A = this chain, B = another copy of it.
Amino acid sequence: MKGVILSECDTRLVDVAHDLPRQNLTAAAFWLREVLPYFPQAVHLAVIDPGVGTNRRAAVVRAGDHLLVGPDNGVLLPTARAIIEAGDGSTATNAIDVFEWNYGDTPSSTFHGRDVFAPAAAAVHETGLDAFTDLAAVRPLPDPVEFELPTPSINEETKTAVGEVLVVDDFGNVITNISGTLLEELERVTVNGETVPVQPTYATVSQNSRLATVGSHENVELAVNTGRGDEAFRLEAGDRVELTW
């Protein structure tokens, strides 16, 4: 993919991640949403594509002054919304427009990253944020595939939140889909039946002790100081998380 891009345009490549879990739309949607809005104006290429080679469409999403290129499976839409939220709110830069990239025949049916999406990213980079819509391969995509990260259910009366693990990060921290605002003013919280302290960060408990905290993504995170939260809480991506307080 890098070779194809550099053959077609002279640009600076920045690797954002090498190790997103394979084929996992939820993990990719989460991590890209957390990371890409911090970048300056760019073309972002992300190919999480279990449907490669089938009749799924290719998409170019314009979010403010960013372009996102990938399969039309919705995985880029949470990022597009986050880019708009992180922007300055001006009308010039707060629209999300989705386009189809019409790719025709391809050399392979199993590696569209190389054969479809890298050339598309190079082409929209070369033509630019406005003019790319004039490319012959580009047309509006009125009905893009939607995708939402799963949302928790909160019951203030029973003081219970039921959510799930979105991802486990490299450190073993368990990142849930439950908003960290829930932990405000709590000293402890019960996670799937086990009570742990609510802490501002990892090292405010002793080594190898468990905690709940608000992660940098503003969600509830379950962790162990200098250890692995996933092992201590016996949780992995997709698992149910019930918090009570």
Contact = CB atoms under 8 A, between A and B. Distances in A.
A16 interface: yes
Given A52-B203, A171-B22, A202-B53, A39 B216 contact: no
A54 interface: yes
A236 interface: no
Contact of A110 (B14, B115, B202): B202
Contact of A201 (B6, B18, B109, B213): B109
A65 to B, nearest CB: 12
A13 to B, nearest CB: 7
A51 interface: yes
A211 to B, nearest CB: 11
Interface residues of A, number: 46
Interface in A23-51: 23, 35-40, 50-51
A54 B3 contact: no
Contact of A216 (B51, B107, B213, B221): B107
A240 interface: no
Given A54-B201, A203-B50, A110 B221 contact: yes
Contacts of A37: 3
A102 interface: no
Given A108-B215, A110-B215, A52 B22 contact: no
A157 to B, nearest CB: 30
Interface string A195-231: 0000011111000000001111000010001100000
Contact of A226 (B4, B14, B23): B23
A80 to B, nearest CB: 15
A216 B225 CA distance: 34
A53 B204 CA distance: 9
A22 B173 CA distance: 12
A172 B202 CA distance: 31
Contacts of A39: 2-3, 6-7
Interface of A: 2-4, 6-7, 12-16, 18-19, 22-23, 35-40, 50-54, 107-111, 114-115, 170-171, 200-204, 213-216, 221, 225-226
Closest 8 CB pairs of A and B: A53-B201, A3-B38, A111-B216, A108-B216, A3-B39, A109-B201, A7-B40, A54-B203
